[in-house]
Amino acid sequence: MKSSYIYILPTFIFLFFMFQPFSYCGATENSECFECHSDEALERVESEGMKAGIFVNEYKFKNSVHNINSVACIDCHADITELNYDLEVPHSSNLAPVDCGACHEDEAEAYENSVHKKAGGKGISIPCYACHDYHYVRPLEGYTVTERENEFCLKCHDPNKFHDWLPQKETHFDHVECAVCHAPDAPRHIHLRFYDLVENAYLESDEILAALNTDHENFLKLLDTNKNLIIEVDEFEKMVFLLRQSNIRVTFRGELLSEMEPVIHHINRGEAKRECETCHLPTSPFFEAVTIVLDNEDGRISHYEVERRVLETYYVNHFYVIGGTRVRLLDRIGLVLLLGGVSVVLVHLSVRVVTAPLRRRKKEKKDEFTA
């Protein structure tokens, strides 16, 4: 009889630990790491005697694309297999560098062929996270051109130092993602964002859907009456009309973006596009894909293809925001290119450049008028 107690006690202990919250189960849970690493004061002493913070912001990490996709601390810090609390630091304090390419193989391969990979020479190169960050990576697709560039390229480059051959540099940098010219292997598309003329701000997807009295699932069905999965000009105009009925004076801001594909990492010296006609011709292959976008709750976005001719409509042309009224102009510049060759363009452009302040003033007047 008595001997069976010998087994019952360990069984109890075993069961006790089995049904504890997961954080007791081993080294696999983020919460265990956060017990120390959510302490803002936590530091370590580097080899040169410098102190470096080892704080990880729990809130920002929770909202990162990695956490949302269940990538845990130890999926990246893969050489931590368990924590040993007998030691002052419960894991090696000389961890191996994280290998982003372990999961992002295609990007890592594409990155091999890049000025940045080779930048440092002598085996040192710019790591993935110099552009992307590591603990707080967010889904990129929903960002505007300026948000993308501020987060990446502008950390290290000042594009105003170059590009003197490009008129209206700022307009280009505001509407064309750096990678569109600098990673010419990557396909690209025009992205139309909903802009509220009265509020002077981009419209949130929720507002658009609420005003149309629909949801993500039924958005396309509502507009695409002929069911060809493309929003044509008349369907597009119907959408604008419906929004206006809900008192939203909508207009569209165009941006030229690269597709999210690994070849976007092929950035190399001397390979960028500069020929005006690649973009400023009515037939430009750069403008074949035109989409409007809505954000989903998870930070991802849905693209809806629209007919290219939408770029010529009143709503895309006629926005009085900075950078407005230009898509038609792309074609106009292109037309001049076609008819008269480059010299005429130069005359045309210098006239436009000279008259730019005047036009801007006119535009501001109109802004006041419409506001």
Q: Is 211 in the site for ligand HEC (CB under 6 A)?
A: no
Binding to ligand HEC, residues 302-321 (CB under 6 A): none
Is residue 293 a contact point for ligand HEC (CB under 6 A)?
Answer: no
49 binds ligand HEC (CB under 6 A): no
User: How far apart are alpha carbons 35 and 44 in whole angstroms?
Assistant: 16
Find the binding residues for ligand HEC in span 223-262 (CB under 6 A).
Answer: 254, 256, 258, 260-262
Distance CA 267, CA 185 (A): 9
Stretch of 202-210, 224-232, 233-241, 325-333 contacting ligand HEC, by CB under 6 A: 325-333
Q: Which two tokens stand for residue 309?
A: 């001719």
Among 49, 123, 270, 357, the residue binding ligand HEC under the rule CB under 6 A is 270
Rounded Cα–Cα distance for residues 88 and 100 (Å): 29
d(CA 344, CA 330): 15
Q: Can you tell me which residue has the tokens 């990007």?
A: 107
Nearer to ligand HEC, 98 or 293 (CB): 98
Residue number with CB closer to ligand HEC (7 or 165): 165
Asked if 104 contacts 66 with a C-beta cutoff of 8 angstroms, the reply is no
Task: From 170-178, 208-216, 223-231, 240-248, give the range in contact with ligand HEC by CB under 6 A.
Answer: 170-178
Residue 123 zone, left/alpha/beta (φ > 0; ψ -120 to 50; rest):
left
Residues 180-199 that bind ligand HEC (CB under 6 A): 180-182
Greatest extent of the chain over all pairs of C-alpha atoms, in Å: 106
CA distances from 201 to 74, 76, 190 (A): 41, 38, 19
Q: Which residue, 235 or 255, has its beta carbon nearer to ligand HEC?
A: 255
Assigned token pair, 342: 């480059």
Q: Of the ranges 1-9, 69-77, 222-230, 301-309, which one interacts with ligand HEC (CB under 6 A)?
A: 69-77
Of 262, 303, 294, 299, nearest to 66 (Cα)? 299
- How near is the Cβ of 308 to ligand HEC at its closest, in Å? 14
Q: Tell me which of 135, 193, 318, 363 binds ligand HEC, using CB under 6 A.
A: 135
282 interacts with ligand HEC by CB under 6 A: no
Token output for 282: 């009515």
335 binds ligand HEC (CB under 6 A): no
